[in-house]
Every structure is written in structure tokens, then in C-alpha cells.
Structure 1
Amino acid sequence: MNCADVEALHAERWFHTIELPDGSCTPGVFDMRSCSARLDWPALTGARCLDVGTCDGFWAFEIERRGAAEVLAIDVDDPWQLDLPQEVRDRDIEELRRSAARRKKRFEMAAAARSSRVRRIACSVYDLDPAMHGVFDVIFCGTLLIHLRDPVRALRRIAGVCAGELMLLETVDARLDLLHPSSPCARLEPAPLQWWRANTAGLHAMLRLAGFEVLSTSPRFLTPHGAGLSSGRPQGARARASAWARTRLAASSAPLVTRSLGLVFGNYDVAIRARPRAGVRPAAVVL
């Protein structure tokens, strides 16, 4: 990369922290690199993989780096396809269009900088179709269900193109996890632009209803903030303290620390490996 390319990359407001060939990183709001190191990845070498809701592309590029033979990344470019409350869509449609264009541009810039072979297409998770997109050995879905009005329908679509395993990384409601550890439940509209935030049992139930069986569930963890957090809107003292704590302590693997911070923030993350149940073939899933 030349200096102009590097400057252009760093001038963007990134959601993901992505490593670049010159040793620098994009200034993302979140830094998932430590999370990736914790995941119990399925075999990726030589696999055909799908990244659902790719955004800036961190997980797609990470899957490629880990040896996948082919990676398809999907995201929504048409804001009318986003699961948003009607009043938000009507009020912010022009900004939503600009945001979608910027998201696509960031992915393309990062892919070019990394000389990546990941292919990105505009596609909603609800429109996944084995006849059009084929089937995949490994599917990654990161922090998407919380933004969907119908997460079970989305998981059924994913099951329809899954010939191997799904790696689901999702935000979990820490308080529901504590109060109802064995009962599937979710909180409606826990934060702006979020539909459902389930407990871990709720995520397991969604997967079961969509035709998956759970293989493993990771310990709880926190995703650190990245350098891009400070480049957004001004933050109050409480928000700055929260961001500092999350970033500094997210690397801790101590369950008590994670649970305590999750209760303060209201959430933490888990990663679940799952596969379509025996006898459920991708093309046979009712969509």
C-alpha cells in the first residue's frame, strides 16, 4: 500500500479493527481479534465458508486467514431490507443509504489492502437459497440475531445452506442469564435498533427450532472496544469509564469478572457451535 491508500483507510470510521499489511490496523469501534483466538473453530482448511452480516469484513478475512478455500460474505446494501422499526426507516432513510454505501466501501478498501479473495454480495440472511448460493462447510454469523425481528427464520435460512457447521457468536442478556439460566427467554428492544436479546438458553432454543443441534457453547466473554470508539460522538464520564473497563478487562478469562461486568453492562457474548440435526439435509429445510 502507498501512503495515500493508508491515509484513506485510516480516515474512514470503521466498525471492525482489521489488520493491514503495513502492520497498522483500521480504527474500529470493536476489536474482535482476541475473541477470535478464544473460539473453538471447526476445521476451516479447504472449506467453503459463509460470513453472514459481514459489515467491514473482519470475520470473513479471519476465516480466509485461517485457511478457507472460498469465503462468501453477505450484507444488506438496500436499507429497505434492514429489520428496523418503521419510524426509524422513514425518518433516517437517506442516512441509512449513506451508511450502507460507506459499509460496502470499507469492506472493499480492506479487501483490496489485504489482497483478499473473499467475495462480497448484497444479500439478506432471509434470502439465502441453496439453489442460488450453494451450500457451505462452515457458516459464521456474528452478532446479527440481536438486530433481527425474526431470528428463528434467519437461522432456518442459514440451516438451508449449511452442509457442515454453524459458528454463532451472539450477544447474550447477562441479567436474564442470571435470573433464568435454564428457561429460554429474551428481552424485547433492550437497546435502540435491537429487537431481541436472549439468554443462552434462548439462543439454544432458537437453534433447536431452526433445525440445529448444539455441539458446544463457549465460556462467556466480552468483546473489547477498539481505537475507533473515541472518534464517534462525544461521550460522558460514565460512558468513557464503561468503555475503559470493557476494553481493559475484556481480555480476562475469569468467569467471575466476565459475569460481573456483564451484569453492569447488561450483556456479554457467547460463541455456539451447531450443526443441522441428523436427517436434516440443507435443501430439505422448510424455509
Structure 2
Amino acid sequence: MEDLAQRVADHPGWYHALDLPGGVVTPGYCDLRPFAPEALPASLAGKRCLDVGTFDGFWAYSMEARGPEVVYALDLPDGTQADWPPNTREENLAHSVASGLEWGSGFKLAHSALGSKVRRIEGNVKDLTPDWTDGPVDVLLCGTILQHLRDPTGALERMRETLKPGGTLLMIEAFSVGLTRLHPKRPVAEYRPPAPGSQFTWWIPNLATLRGWATTAGFVEAPGNEVVKHTPLRGSAKGDNVARLTFHAPA
């Protein structure tokens, strides 16, 4: 455990707070651990699952703990393929190189420590097909990735085509509390690239926009969908919270 704690401490850039064996916790920028029990089904027994934009793997490992048949975890092979805004792209790449962070290294460290069987796959969501997961999946989790994409609806189309008919999309995404209060029914999103300090984000939507992105891409909102809201312990700007919405691919 001392060796694991040291390896965690030496890792140059944790995004997710993860509980590892021996009480070791990764010092992640984003701590979603209290959210998982509300955001995920209690059981995923027998389900084929996919976590899109896994990074350190928090949602993939959280799904694995719920007994699925298999969990796939999709992420980019390296930062050069990230859909960063053009005005901050060079700065982001330079920072990534200077940090010494190898894309996926946190995921691999956690994978080994947990004895996980999650299958990591590399690629861009805009090219996602069911072949990447050996056929369509039952449950697809989209975790705080849409804000970082120039074309959220296009990415959701690829996700829909990777789900089985009637399959479930768990959309766990950032939203603006302020815009949701001002526009509870009208789809509105804040465009973030020009904002000072916004290096990685394109959009912060209200809840109506999250619904609009999904339904435009062909998803159907789950009947009686309960929107579960969460304020992360770390890793969100003031007024930016996270919500889980549930949709289905057409049957």
C-alpha cells in the first residue's frame, strides 16, 4: 500500500478522485464519488456497458462494481486529438507536454490497483461504431464530455448508433444552474471559449439544452425521467453543476 500511495502521489495529473485499495484516494480535480450511488442503477447485472470519455476511469470502475457482463472505457490515445478550442489549443498541448502526463496512465494505474477487467479502447467519439465494443451495448454512459466538444449532437449520434435498440443512455453532464433558472424550458447554452480561464470548454448548457442535444440526436427521454442533480466537491466553476438524465435509443 505504501508503494501504491507513492505511485499515486507521483502521478502528474489526476482528473478523477478514485478510491483505491488500502484507503488510497487519488487527488482528483473532480470528485464525483458521492454522486455515483444516485447516478447509477444499483445493479447492471448481465449488461454490456460503455463509458465514453473515461480518462481516469471513475465511471467505468463504478459501473464495473455493479456486476455487468463487460465494461468498455473509451478515451483518446493522446491529447493531440482532443477537441480543444482553437484559441487555447497550443497552450493546452504545451501544458500537457510540460506536465509529463501520459494520456491514460492514471486509468492504467487504477486498473492494476483494482484488479479491474474493464476494457479500455482508444479512439475519438466522433468515429465511434459498435465494432469498437464487439457489438452494440446495453448501457452507455456519457460523463462530462459534451461540454468539451464542438459538436455535442454529432457525438450523441455516434453513441445512439452504438446502443442496442431500446438501450439506455445515462447522460451525466455539466449544466448551468443560472441558465436553467432563467430559461427552464428554452434550450440555452453559454459559449465558453472567449471566457477568461476557459481552456477546455465549448459549452455550458441549461438542462433544456441537454435534453435538446439528446432528442435531436434521436434519443427518447425515459418516461418519468428523474433528473438527479449534484454539486461536485471539487472541479466545477461557480454555478456549474452536474446532472444525470436518462434516455433510450429507439426500440
CA RMSD of aligned residues (A): 2.1
Distance 1:115 1:270, change over 3 A: same
Aligned letter for 2:10? A
Asked if 1:11 is matched to 2:10, the reply is yes
Write the mapping of 1:203-218 to structure 2, written as runs, cut at 5 A.
203-215=210-222, 216-218=225-227
Asked if 1:155 is matched to 2:156, the reply is yes
Q: Deviations over 1:128-167 (max 9, x none)?
A: 1123432111111111101100000000000010111010
Q: Deviations over 1:9-40 (max 9, x none)?
A: 23223211111121221122222111001225
Structure 2: unaligned runs, 5 residues or longer: none
Secondary structure in 2 aligned to 1:109? Answer: helix
Q: How far apart in 2 are the matches of 1:38 and 1:101?
A: 31
Report the CA distance between 1:88 and its aligned residue.
Answer: 2.4
- 1:71–1:119 CA contact under 8 A, matched in 2: yes
Structure 1: unaligned runs, 5 residues or longer: 230-245, 247-263, 279-287
Secondary structure in 2 aligned to 1:102? Answer: coil
Larger-gyration structure (1/2): 1
Asked if 1:202 is matched to 2:227, the reply is no
Q: How far apart in 1 are the matches of 2:128 and 2:101?
A: 21
What is the aligned length? 241
Structure 2 counterpart of 1:193 = 200
Q: Deviations over 1:171-199 (max 9, x none)?
A: 11111101110111111116332111111
- 1:39–1:218 CA contact under 8 A, matched in 2: no
Write the mapping of 1:84-163 to structure 2, written as runs, cut at 5 A.
84-97=84-97, 101-133=101-133, 134-163=135-164
Secondary structure in 2 aligned to 1:269? Answer: strand
Q: Percent identity?
A: 34
- 1:79–1:97 CA contact under 8 A, matched in 2: no
Structure 2 counterpart of 1:180 = 183
Secondary structure in 2 aligned to 1:220? Answer: strand
Asked if 1:63 is matched to 2:63, the reply is yes
- 1:78–1:100 CA contact under 8 A, matched in 2: no
- 2:42–2:66 CA contact under 8 A, matched in 1: no
Distance 1:14 1:267, change over 3 A: same
User: Structure 1 segments of 4 or more deviating over 6 A?
Assistant: none
- 2:138–2:163 CA contact under 8 A, matched in 1: yes
TM-score (norm 1): 0.78
Q: Deviations over 1:19-67 (max 9, x none)?
A: 1121221122222111001225275111111010001011111100111
- 1:213–1:274 CA contact under 8 A, matched in 2: yes
Q: How far apart in 1 are the matches of 2:57 and 2:40?
A: 20
- 2:85–2:199 CA contact under 8 A, matched in 1: no
Report the CA distance between 1:79 and its aligned residue.
Answer: 2.7
Aligned letter for 2:238? F
Distance 1:15 1:80, change over 3 A: closer
Structure 1 counterpart of 2:232 = 223
Report the CA distance between 1:91 and its aligned residue.
Answer: 4.1
Q: How far apart in 2 are the matches of 1:57 and 1:105?
A: 11
